[in-house]
Each structure stands twice: as C-alpha cells, then as structure tokens.
C-alpha cells in the first residue's frame, strides 16, 4: 500500500466550518478506502498567527512564540483527529515516535507541531521520510500552488512543475523564518524533502475533492528533483 502524508493549512480548519470539515473527513477516509496509508499534519493557521502577533507586540521571545504556534497547531489537529475518529486516534500526536506507533496500527495519525524552531511543514516532511511516503500533499487555502513571486505581485506566474532548487530560490525571496510566518514552505522542510526525494504537491484545498486531483498530478504545483 502506498503511503501519503497530507499537510493541511490551519486556515482550512480554523475557524471551523462543519460542511467543509465533514467533506475533508470523507476525502481522507476515501483515501484509506482507496488503498492508501495516510498520515495528517495540521498547521496553526490564523489561530496561531493571532496569538503570536499579540505576544510578539508584548515583547515575548521567538522561542516562546514557537511554543504558542505549536499549541495552536495541536488544537487544530485535535479538532481534526476527533472528527476522523474512530479511524484516527482522538487526540493530537506530539512526536515522530507517537506517529509511527499509531501508523503501525492502521489508523490515520494526526499531529500538529513537534518542537520549537520546526514548522509543521518540516514535521510533515520528516513524517513522510520516516513512513517511506513518496508524496506529500500540501493543502493550501485560496492559493493554487507555487508562484514565481508573491501571488499578489503583478506578473507572478503559477508554476506547474519545478525543482527543489527553483523552490529554494523562490523561498529566499518570499519567506520569513519567524514564528507564525511559514506561509508556503521553509528551508528546513525543503532540506528534508530534498534528501528523501520527496514529491511535494502544493494546491488549493478550498474544495477537499482537490486532494484526489493533486494526488493524480492534475492540480497545483509539483516539486521534485
């Protein structure tokens, strides 16, 4: 059975919308029914950013802001884990070891962040590597894939296929490594993907059915090689 890791933007989970979440649940269950082994990682999204913004303005250290982001992502992951139960554990997992233990039982492991200084994108990449997954699906909200520049920049083009090096060049232009700011991908996650030869698909998951299209290479941007 092929393993696939699904990284879900926290902005897709919070604020929670019942119709969306039930459709997302049904698609994830459908992947399992279709013969895939699935692991899910959920980001902190707007929930994390709102908390982090207040704390940063209050002068709180970046290390503690990272902790706030992790806790926010785990709350989002807890929501999704309970929604997926009994085909998932009903709580967020906090380490790679826990993910592997749940995965070996045949359930869908659901996690948020693991540790300060590590984005949920990096968590998803590490999990994919550990599970031997070939593909990591990066579910975005309202963004079709990877663009040549910030999507709002005039002249920015959607790139359907690109290499790790091309993604790295784009990240240098548009990314910040501060807590709460991993809007697309980050260098740690990229290094893990590169060393394991992971195929990453960035796509708009405003419609959960797009997960199937991304898995087939019909949606979004594919990064590999």
* Beta-bridge partners for 221: 202
Residues 6 or more apart whose CB falls under 8 angstroms from that of 188 comprise: 118, 119, 122
What number is the average pLDDT over the span 28-51? 97
Is the predicted pLDDT of residue 149 greater than 90, yes or no? no
Q: Where are the beta strands (DSSP E) in the chain?
A: 3-8, 37-42, 110-111, 135-140, 146-147, 158-159, 161-162, 199-204, 221-223
Q: Report pLDDT digits (tens) over 170-180.
A: 888 776 555 54
Higher pLDDT, 149 or 218: 218
Annotated binding site for ATP: 7-11, 45, 49, 147, 150
Is the predicted pLDDT of residue 187 greater than 50, yes or no? yes
Query: 14 in helix, strand or coil?
Result: coil
Residue 175 confidence (pLDDT): 61
Annotated binding site for UMP: 44, 66, 114-120
Instruction: Choose among 59, 64, 9, 23: nearest CA to 212.
Output: 23
Domains of the chain: 3-223 (3.40.1160.10)
Backbone φ and ψ of 122, nearest 5° = -65, -40
Share of the chain above pLDDT 90, in %: 88
Residue 182 confidence (pLDDT): 47
Q: Report pLDDT digits (tens) over 51-107.
A: 999 999 999 999 999 999 999 999 999 999 999 999 999 999 999 999 999 999 999
Is the predicted pLDDT of residue 188 greater than 90, yes or no? yes
Q: Report pLDDT digits (tens) over 94-148.
A: 999 999 999 999 999 999 999 998 999 999 999 999 999 999 999 999 999 999 8
pLDDT band of 183, cuts 50, 70, 90: low
Is the predicted pLDDT of residue 200 greater than 90, yes or no? yes
Annotated binding site: 7-11, 44-45, 49, 66, 114-120, 147, 150
Higher pLDDT, 153 or 18: 18
What number is the average pLDDT over the span 206-224? 97
Residue 156 confidence (pLDDT): 86
Candidate from 27-36, 144-153, 191-200 with smallest mean pLDDT: 144-153
Give the separation between CA 124 and CA 136, rounded to whole angstroms.
8
């Amino acid at each position: 059975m092929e393993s696939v890791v699904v990284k879900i933007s926290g902005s897709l989970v919070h604020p929670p919308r019942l119709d969306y979440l039930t459709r997302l649940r049904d698609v994830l269950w459908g992947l399992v029914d279709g013969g895939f082994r699935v692991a899910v990682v959920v980001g902190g999204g707007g929930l994390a950013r709102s908390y982090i913004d207040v704390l940063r303005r209050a002068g709180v250290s970046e290390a503690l802001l990272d902790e706030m982001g992790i806790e926010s992502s785990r709350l989002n992951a807890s929501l999704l884990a309970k929604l997926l139960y009994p085909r998932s554990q009903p709580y967020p997992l906090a380490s790679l070891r826990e993910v592997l233990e749940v995965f070996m039982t045949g359930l869908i492991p659901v996690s948020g962040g693991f540790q300060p200084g590590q984005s949920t994108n990096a968590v998803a990449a590490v999990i994919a590597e550990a599970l031997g997954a070939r593909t990591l699906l990066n579910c975005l909200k309202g963004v079709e894939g990877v663009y040549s520049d910030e999507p709002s920049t005039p002249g920015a083009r959607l790139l359907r296929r690109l290499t790790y090096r091309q993604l790295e060049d784009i990240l240098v232009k548009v990314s910040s490594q501060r807590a709460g700011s991993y809007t697309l991908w980050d260098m740690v996650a990229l290094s893990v993907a590169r060393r394991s030869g992971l195929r990453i698909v960035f796509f708009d998951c405003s419609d959960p059915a797009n997960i199937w299209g991304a898995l087939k290479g019909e949606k979004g941007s594919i990064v590999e090689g």
